[in-house]
Amino acid sequence: MTLSIVLVTFAGFWFPLIMAGLVFAVSLGVAAYSTYVERKFAAFLQDRLGPSRAGPWGILQPLADGVKMVMKEEIIPNVSNKFLFILGPAIAMLTALMTGAVIPWGPKINIGGEWFSLQVADVNIGVLYLLGVVSIGVYGIMIGGWASNNKYALLGALRASSQMISYEIAMGISVITLIMLSGTLQTSEIAAQQHGFWADGWFTWNFFKNPLTFLIFFICALAETNRTPFDLPECETELVGGYHTEYSSMKLGFYLFAEYVNMFISSAVMSLFFFGGYNFPFMDELSNHPNLVAVIGAASMLIKTLFFVMVFMWIRWTIPRFRYDQLMNLGWKILIPLSLANLVATGITMWATGKIG
Amino acid sequence: MSNHDIGKLAEPEEKVYTTLNLGPTHPATHGIFQNVLKMDGEIIVEAEPTIGYIHRAFEKLAERRPYNQVTPITDRLNYCSSPINNMGWHMTVEKLIGAELPKRVEYMRVVVMELARIADHIICNSVIGVDTGAMTGFLYIFQWREKIYDIYEQICGARLTTNIGRIGGFERNFSDKVWSLIDDFVRDFPKGLTEFSNLLERNRIFMDRTINAGPVSQKMALEYSFTGPNLRAAGIDHDVRVMNPYSSYQDFDFTIPIGTQGDVYDRFMVRQQEMWESLSIIKQALKNIDRKSPVFSGDVPEFVLPEKAEVYNNMEALIYHFKIVMGETEVPAGEVYHSVEGGNGELGYYLISDGGRTPYRLHMRRPCFIYYQAYPEIIKGSMLSDAILTMSSMNVIAGELDA
């Protein structure tokens, strides 16, 4: 009894900490198993078996990879800038893991009469925080590629930085459109607005309100995470390994891992922004059992997220990649004008329908 | 302080270029050769190729080898289509000694050579896909190359460096298993090839990447004496199989696909189409081959090993067996050039014999060597990605390049 009182009293302090640990663990776990799923999925698409030796169906493969990465000899080139060489992967990993903090992973849950949100930090500028942290992420690649003192790594880093900076603009504009629709920068508020599935004769999810914004955001997310068809920074047939050519052991692991964490987080952001986040159809019928709603909500968030992760993989193993100039053309000449037009059209529609104050 | 010192932009001639060593070991160089590229960012200003990393002096080696033992050397030229190289060499020697082969043997050769052409084009086209980033098509179509290799294996026991056939025909008759494997392949391959075509041919990104990449004009192609698919992609319908038929190619009905502007996409499409044509040639040959016939070599006793039973019971057979195995077959003096349509162009053998057991001089006209001379000129001013694609679409094989 006393314990529960103590727990409840200090819950405001320990609950975000637990959530932080949970988000950290889930991001890492999902990222680790994304590598396994990616390989299995690719194998499925390509009539192969994929990893099958470590444990049943190769299910321990990510662990084996992790152990291998840690045990490998750490090679730091003599000609590199040692400090920056180590800083690069650290930044990449750090920023990848930081973004998970503002994502509401489920509805509020009730523990001992107190309400807790399944979110590490419910800041009122959550969307800005996301964009900010994501744009720091490019420094990890830039610094790593530059510090390697290798021409292939430098080319990869150049490609990565110009690509990510270019696509951030279109992504930012599409996010502005979304913010106009929802009228808030708070991620929990955006999720709450998409409550349920159907209200007032139309879908509540933002995707159905403005599919074009989602499309632009999705393409930009592919580019931001350096996935096919935008995987120029690391395309092995041109740049050997791209920005991580000189990396080995766990520092290489951090880069590869950061890519999967980024993929997971951007999928989560997509499901949060456009597909209702933790909301699921008929959630009001269960409103008497808030904790059940929370559990199903968290599960639905995870399912949507994993669905987008799978879409990322599906795209990777289906289509070729762009050339550098084509990538820039797509970013600057198609996506940015399109997102601007979308912004203006959304604004006019909102003004015409009187949804603007 | 004058204005000149402030914010002065670099003049073009003052530009600082980067040197990028593309190769000798790079995932995109199919084999070992080096390109020293002078780069302006992603644009190639100048390219300087270095060759000879796997030069094995084949032409010199051939001068010390009996004619039959030159065949394994030819395996290692364009190792993606060894049977064509082997049979080109056999036909060269047959031309020198004036041997006539039965139709059945020539048709069997046509079947094997066209299978080899399909295998060669499969590698080239799927690698173009890989270099654009599409791995899946590569793995799909490679299963069919495996099936072709299974056929080689049944015929001669080897898969990659085949050493298939002998001067004067084949080493043994095709077994029933071979015929059934070929039948299966001819029946099922269209499905696989269609699947591969659907993946890439009309893919928007693939087309954007390959159209106008690494173009070779007709004039340039002729000046560099391009042959094979690379010349045909530029729009010139030259094919050794038609222009100078060998091994009864005149009996077959097939078309020569040509491109229009000789870019990567044209080269890809020409090869795609040639696979269909090869398939049709194989079908025609299969229709006209008597599968039960025991004839698998011509009347060339000085090169075709006699049956073991003959060797034990017949004086002449024993002598020929000994001479062939010891490589002591005398060949008349003479000078002959014979070329075949190899996997990636006209593969010619220029053979001079002064009599005796070995060639006096053998020169191999290797198409890759010729393509690679034009490579720096083609990629000048293009982007790095295009240069990689150009290299893979010209199908420059280091083994043939360096010989």
Domains of chain B, residue spans = 58-402
Residue B350: the pLDDT is 93
Confidence of residue A356 (pLDDT cuts 50, 70, 90): low
The verdict on a CB contact (< 8 Å) between A46 and B136 is: yes
Neighbouring-strand partners of residue B353: B334
Q: Check CB contact of B38 with chain A, cutoff 8 Å.
A: no
In degrees to the nearest 10, what's the CA dihedral of A247, A248, A254, A260?
90
Q: Tokens representing B63?
A: 């001068």
Residue A2: the pLDDT is 63
For residue A183, is pLDDT > 80? yes
Confidence of residue B150 (pLDDT cuts 50, 70, 90): very high
Residue A3: the pLDDT is 61
CA distance B300 to B305: 9
B58-402 is a CATH 1.10.645.10 domain: yes
Residue B115: the pLDDT is 92
Chain segment B237-273, per-residue pLDDT in tens: 888 988 888 888 888 898 999 989 888 999 999 999 9
Residue B190: the pLDDT is 92
Which of A104-118, B3-17, B152-166, B177-191 is predicted least confidently? B3-17
Over residues B134-138, the mean pLDDT reads 85
Let me know: does B61 contact B358? Beta carbons within 8 Å: no
Contacts of A158 in chain B (CB under 8 A): 41
The verdict on a CB contact (< 8 Å) between B209 and A236 is: no
> Higher confidence at residue B58 or residue A109?
B58
> Higher confidence at residue B355 or residue A117?
B355
Among B22, B36, B38, B42, pick the best mutation site for testing chain A contact (most A Cβ within 10 A). B42
Chain segment A204-228, per-residue pLDDT in tens: 788 888 888 889 999 988 888 888 7
Q: Check CB contact of B379 with chain A, cutoff 8 Å.
A: no
Residue A5: the pLDDT is 62
Chain segment A257-290, per-residue pLDDT in tens: 888 888 888 898 888 888 888 888 777 777 777 7
- For chain A, the residues whose C-beta falls within 8 A of a C-beta of chain B are 42, 45-48, 151-152, 155, 158, 228-229, 231-232, 235-238, 240, 317-326
**Phi first, then psi: what are they for A235, rounded to 5°?**
-70, 120
Q: Tell me the nearest-neighbour CA distance from A7 into chain B, angstroms.
A: 54
Contacts of B41 in chain A (CB under 8 A): 158
For residue B337, is pLDDT > 90? yes
Q: Check CB contact of B189 with chain A, cutoff 8 Å.
A: no
DSSP A205-218: SHHHH-HHHHHHHH
Domains of chain A by residue range: 68-352
Among A319, A328, A334, pick the best mutation site for testing chain B contact (most B Cβ within 10 A). A319
Chain B nearest-CA residue for A153? B20
Query: Running DSSP on this structure, what letter comes out for residue B169?
Result: B
Closest CA to B384 of B14, B124, B28: B28
CA distance A195 to B369: 67
Residue B187: the pLDDT is 92
Q: Check CB contact of B132 with chain A, cutoff 8 Å.
A: yes
The verdict on a CB contact (< 8 Å) between A323 and B143 is: no
Residue B36: the pLDDT is 87
Let me know: does A297 contact A107? Beta carbons within 8 Å: yes
Confidence of residue A6 (pLDDT cuts 50, 70, 90): low
**Any residues with CB less than 8 A from the CB of B311 and at least 6 apart, and which?**
B317, B318, B321
The verdict on a CB contact (< 8 Å) between A317 and B136 is: yes
Q: Tokens representing A177?
A: 């459109």
Contacts of A325 in chain B (CB under 8 A): 383
Percent of chain B as helix, strand, coil, to the nearest 5: 50, 10, 35
Say which of A46, A237, A324 has its CB closest to residue B139: A46
Q: Tell me the nearest-neighbour CA distance from A223 into chain B, angstroms.
A: 15
Q: Check CB contact of B241 with chain A, cutoff 8 Å.
A: no
Over residues B321-346, the mean pLDDT reads 89
Q: Check CB contact of B133 with chain A, cutoff 8 Å.
A: yes
Q: Tell me the nearest-neighbour CA distance from B27 into chain A, angstroms.
A: 5
The verdict on a CB contact (< 8 Å) between A229 and B133 is: yes
Q: Tell me the nearest-neighbour CA distance from A285 into chain B, angstroms.
A: 45
Query: Running DSSP on this structure, what letter comes out for residue B351?
Result: E
CA distance A173 to A338: 10
Chain segment A296-340, per-residue pLDDT in tens: 888 888 888 889 988 988 888 888 888 888 888 888 999 899 999
Let me know: does B272 contact B201? Beta carbons within 8 Å: yes
pTM: 0.86
Query: Running DSSP on this structure, what letter comes out for residue B383?
Result: B
Residue pairs between chains A and B whose CB atoms are closer than 8 Å: 76
The verdict on a CB contact (< 8 Å) between A151 and B388 is: no
For residue B17, is pLDDT > 80? yes
Mean of pLDDT over chain A: 83
**Any residues with CB less than 8 A from the CB of B289 and at least 6 apart, and which?**
B104, B107, B108, B111
Contacts of A237 in chain B (CB under 8 A): 27-28, 130-131, 133, 388
Say which of B41, B129, B388 has its CB closest to residue A238: B388
Q: Tell me the nearest-neighbour CA distance from B21 into chain A, angstroms.
A: 9
Contacts of B140 in chain A (CB under 8 A): 46-47
**Phi first, then psi: what are they for B40, rounded to 5°?**
-110, 90
Residue B2: the pLDDT is 44
Chain A nearest-CA residue for B28? A237
Confidence of residue B11 (pLDDT cuts 50, 70, 90): low
Say which of B27, B206, B385 has its CB closest to residue A240: B27
Over residues B141-155, the mean pLDDT reads 91
The verdict on a CB contact (< 8 Å) between B203 and A320 is: yes
Q: Tell me the nearest-neighbour CA distance from A290 into chain B, angstroms.
A: 46
Confidence of residue B19 (pLDDT cuts 50, 70, 90): confident
Over residues B64-89, the mean pLDDT reads 89
For residue B93, is pLDDT > 70? yes
Contacts of B27 in chain A (CB under 8 A): 236-237, 240
Distances (CA, A) of B128 to A343, B30, B125, B178, B256: 40, 11, 5, 31, 21
Say which of A46, A238, A317 has its CB closest to residue B385: A238
**Any residues with CB less than 8 A from the CB of B258 and at least 6 apart, and which?**
B232, B233, B235, B236, B237, B270
Residue A10: the pLDDT is 63
